Amino acid sequence: MRNYLSLIKFSHTIFAMPFALLGFFLAMHKTEQGFSFKLLGLVVLCMVFARSAAMAFNRYLDRDIDEKNPRTAVREIPAGIITPKSALAFVLLNCALFMLTTWFINPICFYLSPVALVVILGYSYTKRFTPLCHFVLGLGLSLAPIGAYLAVSGSFDFIPLMYSAAVLLWVSGFDIIYALQDEEFDKSLQLKSVPVVLGKKNSLRLSTILHVVCAAIILAAAWQVSMTYSDLNWLSWVASAIFISLLFYQHTLVKADDLSRVNLAFFTTNGIASLIFGSLVILDFYV
């Protein structure tokens, strides 16, 4: 079990999970439905199964690439800890469990579940033909808030779509930073990424631009929430301020000529930002 949790980097679920829960409680607040532990559990399971399938498939598809890269050669499949066949079986199991779980939620989530799987599994192919791969990853994680909102309300809405757009830009921006580590390796295998195309300095500039736009959307969403729900106010603004501060703090950690703190920027800062933001905005619904 530890090996499979390591394979899918289960701890990284913290990036998107708070935004999924935000979509869930936002829909609960709007529709004035009674709280349902069953529905919350189903939403959390959907997140876990979908992300597990996506991460395991990425590791399965990239096993030959990971074996050649000193940074990733220690991963479970190239290291021989988990066989490719077992990893693929794990992917198929999680895909099936994801679709089954959506069936217990509502028809629209079930009908859209194959679309979600195409996006999150399709990401693993993109680095082979387009530097826009970072944005496909962002798109995959951006499904979390709108998906959870759909689970409760059964319909789309503007505010969760705003949060989804923010997640898309946020994830795309920090994935570009993370990809700086493999710029030379990716070039040697003719893999595509923003750092390969733009170089380190311009990649960091693009990441900054994406995060500036993300910050603007986060503030716009906070304003929209306060206008739509007059009983929500200060905690959402505090959450936005903290998230944006941590968003730009990560850019002080990474320089074109110093990538030693990429992991601090990528994992720690973004994980804390997501957790604090989601928790405070959700708390705003009840304080």
| Residue 137: CATH number of its domain | 1.10.357.140
What is the pLDDT at residue 32?
78
pLDDT digits (tens, 9 = 90+) for 204-250: 999 999 999 999 999 999 998 888 776 667 888 999 999 999 999 99
One-letter amino acid at 62 equals D
What is the pLDDT at residue 13?
76
Tally of domains in the chain: 1
Which domain covers residue 253, as residue numbers? 2-284
What is the pLDDT at residue 64?
94
What is the pLDDT at residue 286?
76
65 Ramachandran zone, left/alpha/beta (phi>0; psi -120 to 50): alpha
Cα–Cα distance between 143 and 148 in angstroms, integer?
8
pLDDT (tens digit, 0 to 9) for every residue of the chain, 287 residues total? 888 888 877 777 778 899 999 999 999 988 878 888 999 999 999 999 999 999 999 999 999 999 999 989 999 999 999 999 999 999 999 999 999 999 999 999 999 999 999 999 999 999 999 999 999 999 999 999 999 999 999 998 999 999 999 999 999 999 999 999 999 999 999 999 999 999 999 999 999 999 999 999 999 999 988 887 766 678 889 999 999 999 999 999 988 888 888 887 777 888 899 999 999 999 988 77
What is the pLDDT at residue 233?
72
What is the pLDDT at residue 230?
65
What is the pLDDT at residue 97?
98
Cα–Cα distance between 220 and 54 in angstroms, integer?
30
